[in-house]
Structure formats: structure tokens, C-alpha cells
Structure 1
Amino acid sequence: MHLHKKIIAYKSVIKEWNKKDMKTEGAQRSFNNYNNSPPFLAGVISKEELPRVYRILDALFRQIEYLGGSVNDDLSFNIRNENVHIVVIESQDQIKHEMTREEAKELLIYEDAKRHHSWESEPKIRKYGYVFNGRLRITIRKSKYFRDTDSVNIESRLSEMLKELYVESEVVRIDREAREEAQRKREEEEKLREELRIRYNAEVERTIALTNIVQDYDAACKIRAYTSALELSENMGDKTDAWIDWAKKKADWFDPTVERTDELFGKRKHEKDSEQKALKNSRYYW
């Protein structure tokens, strides 16, 4: 039987990544030993065991599809509309590292430099090496995994794996809905904060405008009080009746309850602040 089409397509992903893997022979290979996590199956399965892994996945994929699920391009599962991932690794045995000729040469150069009191960086030669041992481990949930033992191969537990995949899909659903609900709450809280910010800023603007209007009203009242005092005074100085009439009109211009239009100044923008309303000499011809 031919392998599942998704597996056939995915083989090139593993091949390309493994070609670029810079780890030396005998280096430990696990997800924790890579700066950037390799794609599924790459780097952590020997080329000898990959065909076996493909057969196991092929059996799972066909059962998932028979039950109404599907397989994604990255070989994850779509079960009951939830994306389910598994982790497959091959165990490694730790063995004593046999020094290579190149390493022996580097060590000799370093020791010779040390004897002659010259500087040379000490070569990093590991004490142990690691070799794949053909034993697979498939993790479906954080606390649920299947592995080869001396007496049992992982293939004999495919039905249990299938069951755990469906259990995991429910776990994924619950987690996803919890994240979505948390996100909804965050968005709702952000919306309420934004609405409050807009309301607050609008209230600030209204209050500032009110105090600016009151300042104009206060100026109008003071002008009227002054002109009334002049009219009652026996000594008006150089203030004529025409000047008092002019001053009263200016009071009406300042007064937001009257809003008189001045022939030169136009209508006063009472809600603006003092700096914006300040009268300034014009530098230009009319």
C-alpha cells in the first residue's frame, strides 16, 4: 500500500532541513538542543527509523480520515475541527566519545602552545557522544505518551493512540475556547477603557470651554461695572459718552450671552483659551 499523500509530500521538508542541519555526528539531538525548533520529525529521527515512523503515521491518518477527520500539510491532525499535534522522537544512547584525528590534532596544537606560553584557544572536545537506538516515543498529550519497550512495540498500541488523539482534541477545544473567551474579555475591557477615555477627554474639553466662556462673561461684567461707575462719577476725565457707548459694545462682544458681532473683530470664540483669543496687532494691510 502506498503511503498517505500528505506523508509523501512532507518527505521533502524533512530532507531539506536535515541537509542544512549543522550538528556534527554524535551530537545530542532533541528539540532543546536546537536554537530554532526543527519541523515535525526533522533532526530527531534517524534516517533508518523514518520509514517506520511513516508507516505508523499512515495507519493513524487513514483511521482519522475514516472517522471524518483530516490531515494538515505539516502532518498535524484536524479532529472534530480542532488542530491536534503529536511529538515523535527517537531515543538516543550515550556512549563514550572516541576522539577523531582532527580533534587530536587540535588538542596537540593547544598543548604545544601552552608549553611555549603562547595563546591558543582550548578545543572543545566532548566526553560523550549520542547515537539513535531505534526506540520511538510518541507524545500525544503532556502526560500521555507511548514508547517502545523490550517487550512491546509502539505499533501494537495504535488503537490506544487513536483514542488519545480524540481525547486530546477535546482538551484542545477547551483550551481554545478558554483563550477565545479571555481574548474576548480583553477586547471588551479595552473597548470600555477606550470609551471611558473618549468620554473623559470630551468632558475635559467641555469643562475647559466652560471656564473660558466664564472668563469672557467675567470680563463683560467688569467692563459694564466700570462704565456704570464712570457714568455716576462727576469726574469722567477724558472718557466721553461716545467712549462709554463703545465700551458697552465691547462688553456685549465679550458677553457670551449676547454674542455681539464686532465690526473689526467679528464674533468672539468664547470657548477658546486666553492665548487663542488674545488680541494681537496685525502685521498685514487689510
Structure 2
Amino acid sequence: MNKPSRYPELEAAVLAVETDQSLNLKVPTKLSKPHPMVIEMNLKEDDPSRFKINRDKIINRGETFDFAVGNKSLERAKLILDTFIKVVEKRGLKIINSGGNTFLLISEEKIQIRLWEKSRFLEKDENTYGYRDQELSGELYFQYVEMGRYVNKQWGDTSYSKLEEKLGRVIGSLEYNGKKEHAERLKREEHWRELKKKEAIIEERNAIKQTEFNNFKLLLNQSLRWEKAQAIRAYISQVEANSNAVIEGFQNIQECAKWAKAKADWYDPTVKAIDESFSPFGDFHEAVLEERIKIDRYNINKL
């Protein structure tokens, strides 16, 4: 009895490709009407200054499929890639080549892929310095790449099977991962939309609180100013009623009372009388009265 798969949705996607009778997943032994991207898989000019692995490896150039294979594996790579591209397009998917990278467009998601030949390090000559050279293994892989460099998954040659036999699994798996990434992106976007909504509600509430508090603070300041203005008026009334009262700086009580009442009206927020000496009462005056600011020759003009 077969064990149930740990990834039934993945296996269902693979099976959908492998059993699609409209597809030709069999890799031929000879190219027939090759795809333009396969025709453009040309040799890159040799650079003798590069390491041995790079001298032997053919790397794509221009706007063609992203591949890196050895000269001996080039024809086989073309056959595999030609079959792969034709099946992918038959499935209604689009291949995009940009900046040396290849992307498979699945459910609006760009899945980065490449065809790659595995290499092995050579034993380093003890008389030489630097990095060890590598040799190509002849083993070919399709790779699903994330963030431009991290290989999330790869399918290729093993000791018991060849890449040619796995194209249905490769394509089905890529379709599955594309749809999965699309669903995850939509979920993330929905999460951020909900988060922004909550943040907007909080910001709106905070703005209301800020406005309410500012208004209360203004009300409190104005009530205190009114109370102090009333205290000035009450004090002046008491002075006027006392024939023996003396106010420092004034010889004439009546003149002092008139001056004080005018200043009380200037200070009183319910009157806001114009004063010949002072500007309209504001934050600067408040700060001076609370001794948070000292009057000097630079700011006295603000009084």
C-alpha cells in the first residue's frame, strides 16, 4: 500500500502535467524546429585568464535563457531546453529573459529558473596558490532560484535517472510553487492592508485625542487667564476702595487703576483688548510669565 504524499497539492500539480495528453514531454535525439531561445544558445568567447571551470563552461549572453553548461553538454542541454520551453508555452505560461536571468510567469508571479551543469572541485596542486579549479560533471539541473541567488529547489541527473525523464515533475513543481507564491503574496498584501486599516483607525483616534487635549489645554489656559484677569480687577477695586492704599510705581491711584484695568482687558481671553504697548497676548507672553523665557534685547520686541 502506497503511503500518502506529504505534499498532495504538489503531487497533483505534477500529475496534471505528466498526464496532459496535449503535451510532448519526450526529449528527442535531434532538434526539430528549435525554439528561438534555443537557437540563441551560443558559445561565449573564451577568456584564458578565467579558471578552468569558466573556460570550459558556456554561459548565456544577451536576452536568452539563463544557462551555464559545458561544451560537451551543450547539445543535450539544447534538446532538454527546447522540449521544456515548448511544453511550458503549451501550458499557457510565459518565459521572460531579463538582464541575464530567466523568469517563468505563473499566476502573475515571476519564478526565476536556470539550466545548470554541476561541477566538482579538482585536487589543488600544492605548488600553486589561490582557488582550486573545478571540472564539469556532465550532470544537468533545472534550478528554481529565490532572491536572485538562493536555490530553493533543483531537479536533475542522478545515478538512477536523467533530467530528460523529469520534465513533467519540473514543470508541475514550478507551476505549484508559482501558484503558492502568488497565494502567499496575496495573503501578505491582505495582511498589510488590514494592518494599514488598523493603523489608520489608531491614527484617527489619536488625532482626535490630540485635538481634544489641545482644545482642553487651550480652555484651561484661557480659564486661568480669565481667573487672573478677574483677580486683577478685584484687586484694583479693593485698592480704589481704600483711600490709604499705595501701589509701588504709581503716585496716582486713579491713574494706576485705569492702567491696570486696561492690562486686565488685554490679558482676559474673553475681551482681548488692544494694548498700545504690547502685542496681542500669545505663547511668548505666557512663556515669559511662567519664567521659561527671559526678556533680553533680542526678544523684547515680541512683547
Q: Say whether the fold is shared (TM-score over 0.5).
A: yes
Residue of structure 1 equivalent to 2:109: 82
Distance 1:140 1:163 in 2: 12
1:53 and 2:77 aligned: yes
For 1:45, give the aligned amino acid.
V
Given that 1:93 and 1:131 are in contact with CA atoms closer than 8 Å, whether structure 2 keeps it comes out as yes
In the TM superposition, what is the alpha-carbon distance from 1:254 to its structure 2 partner? 1.0
Q: TM-score, normalised by structure 2?
A: 0.63
Distance 1:283 1:145 in 2: 78
Residue of structure 2 equivalent to 1:248: 261
For 1:76, give the aligned amino acid.
F
Shift in CA distance, 48/183, structure 1 to aligned 2, threshold 3 Å? farther
Which structure has greater helix proportion?
A: 1
Given that 1:209 and 1:272 are in contact with CA atoms closer than 8 Å, whether structure 2 keeps it comes out as no
Shift in CA distance, 185/93, structure 1 to aligned 2, threshold 3 Å? same
Residue of structure 1 equivalent to 2:174: 165
Distance 2:80 2:119 in 1: 20
In the TM superposition, what is the alpha-carbon distance from 1:158 to its structure 2 partner? 1.9
TM-superposition CA deviations, 1:13-41 (whole Å, max 9, x none): x948x96x9752259xxxxxxxxxxx984
1:138 and 2:117 aligned: no
Match of 2:278 among 265, 273, 276: 265
In the TM superposition, what is the alpha-carbon distance from 1:199 to its structure 2 partner? 4.4
Q: Percent identity?
A: 23
Given that 1:253 and 1:262 are in contact with CA atoms closer than 8 Å, whether structure 2 keeps it comes out as yes
- Of 71-80 and 181-190, deviating more is 181-190
Given that 2:226 and 2:268 are in contact with CA atoms closer than 8 Å, whether structure 1 keeps it comes out as yes
Could you tell me which runs of 5 or more consecutive residues in structure 2 were left unpaired when the two chains were aligned.
1-31, 55-63, 146-150
Residue of structure 2 equivalent to 1:64: 88
Aligned partner of residue 137 in structure 1, secondary structure = strand
Distance 1:63 1:171 in 2: 21
Residue of structure 1 equivalent to 2:287: 275
TM-superposition CA deviations, 1:188-221 (whole Å, max 9, x none): 4554554455445545543543444244224312
Shift in CA distance, 8/204, structure 1 to aligned 2, threshold 3 Å? farther
For 2:266, give the aligned amino acid.
W
TM-superposition CA deviations, 1:156-184 (whole Å, max 9, x none): 22223222222222212122213323332
For 1:265, give the aligned amino acid.
F
In the TM superposition, what is the alpha-carbon distance from 1:88 to its structure 2 partner? 3.4
Could you tell me which runs of 5 or more consecutive residues in structure 1 were left unpaired when the two chains were aligned.
28-38, 104-123
Which structure has greater strand proportion?
A: 2
Match of 1:147 among 145, 148, 156: 156
CA RMSD of aligned residues (A): 4.0
Distance 1:92 1:143 in 2: 19
Match of 1:5 among 20, 36, 40: 36
Distance 1:212 1:94 in 2: 80
For 2:173, give the aligned amino acid.
E
Distance 2:300 2:176 in 1: 82
Spell out the pairing of 1:174-213 with structure 2 (5 A cutoff). 174-192=183-201, 194-195=203-204, 198-199=207-208, 201-203=210-212, 205-213=214-222
In the TM superposition, what is the alpha-carbon distance from 1:230 to its structure 2 partner? 0.2
Distance 2:209 2:75 in 1: 66
State the number of aligned residues. Answer: 245
Aligned partner of residue 168 in structure 2, secondary structure = helix
Shift in CA distance, 280/254, structure 1 to aligned 2, threshold 3 Å? farther
Q: TM-score, normalised by structure 1?
A: 0.66
Given that 1:40 and 1:87 are in contact with CA atoms closer than 8 Å, whether structure 2 keeps it comes out as yes
Shift in CA distance, 241/186, structure 1 to aligned 2, threshold 3 Å? same
Aligned partner of residue 48 in structure 1, secondary structure = helix
Shift in CA distance, 89/211, structure 1 to aligned 2, threshold 3 Å? same
